[in-house]
Amino acid sequence: MKNYKFLIEYDGSRYYGWQRQPEQTTIQGKLESVLGVLCGKETEVIGAGRTDAGVHARGMTANAYLDTDCTPEEIRDYLNRYLPDDIAVREVREASPRFHARYNAIGKTYRYTCHAGEVRPVFDRKYYWALDERPDVKLMLQAAELLRGEHDFRNFCVNPRMKKSTVRVVDRIEINCEGGYLYFTFHGTGFLQNMVRIMVGTLLEVGCGRMTPQQVKEVLECPDRKKAGPTAPPQGLCLMSVDYD
């Protein structure tokens, strides 16, 4: 039995997130189903993280221990032959026996896409949040600078009963405009549940004049989740890559 590392992309529109759940269609569930047939027994696929329902990925990393004589290329081709067309395995390669996609990850990059142009693009509609107004990017960049660094992000987590540490390091936040699109890029050591989407919602509150940059700092320091902005909808979020040593 060997350990294999997978690089996966998927359109999460019709899935109930990454994590396998009873009676729900998930990315992990689809992968395990196909690999189970390939190996002739139940197979667990370990993902680098748990994307929520409706969230996409261009660079999800996973690993699985497989009992098969197939080459990595044959495993990749088998998966792509039998997976639905909104999931693709870009790469399969043999990994060290101790490689763990989640525990060995040292950083992740997420991108959130909004559209604030006058005419909403039809064919990208499943991959952005359509805004009713153009936010002020300069104000959002000021607020983003306050979010950057090591902070307790408990108010940027949807789970109020989080028992583990909510301290995270966000070392890069970029906000770029291209045509009518607005891209938020976040890189950090790890992210809490809905953390990126809440940060986007908060930054947009600043950009639209409903919060000040100073209030973002206060959100980090106060214990009330309601002080942060709304949770941005899932369709604009995409996991771009996962970092390893």
Active site residues: 52
Q: Measured between alpha carbons, how far is 55 from 37 in angstroms, rounded to an integer?
A: 27
Q: Which two tokens stand for residue 9?
A: 């992309």
Q: Measured between alpha carbons, how far is 231 from 139 in angstroms, rounded to an integer?
A: 19
Q: Measured between alpha carbons, how far is 71 from 77 in angstroms, rounded to an integer?
A: 10
CA quadruple 4, 7, 13, 18: dihedral, nearest 10: 40
Look at strands 181-188 and 107-115 and give their pairing.
antiparallel
Q: Give, as one character, the DSSP assignment of residue 232.
A: P
Q: How far is CA 235 from CA 55, 124, 132, in A?
A: 6, 10, 16
| Residue among 91, 90, 76, 96 at smallest CA distance from 35 | 76
CA quadruple 238, 189, 64, 42: dihedral, nearest 10: -70
* Residue 152, Cβ density class (10 Å: 0-12 exposed, 13-18 middle, ≥19 buried): middle
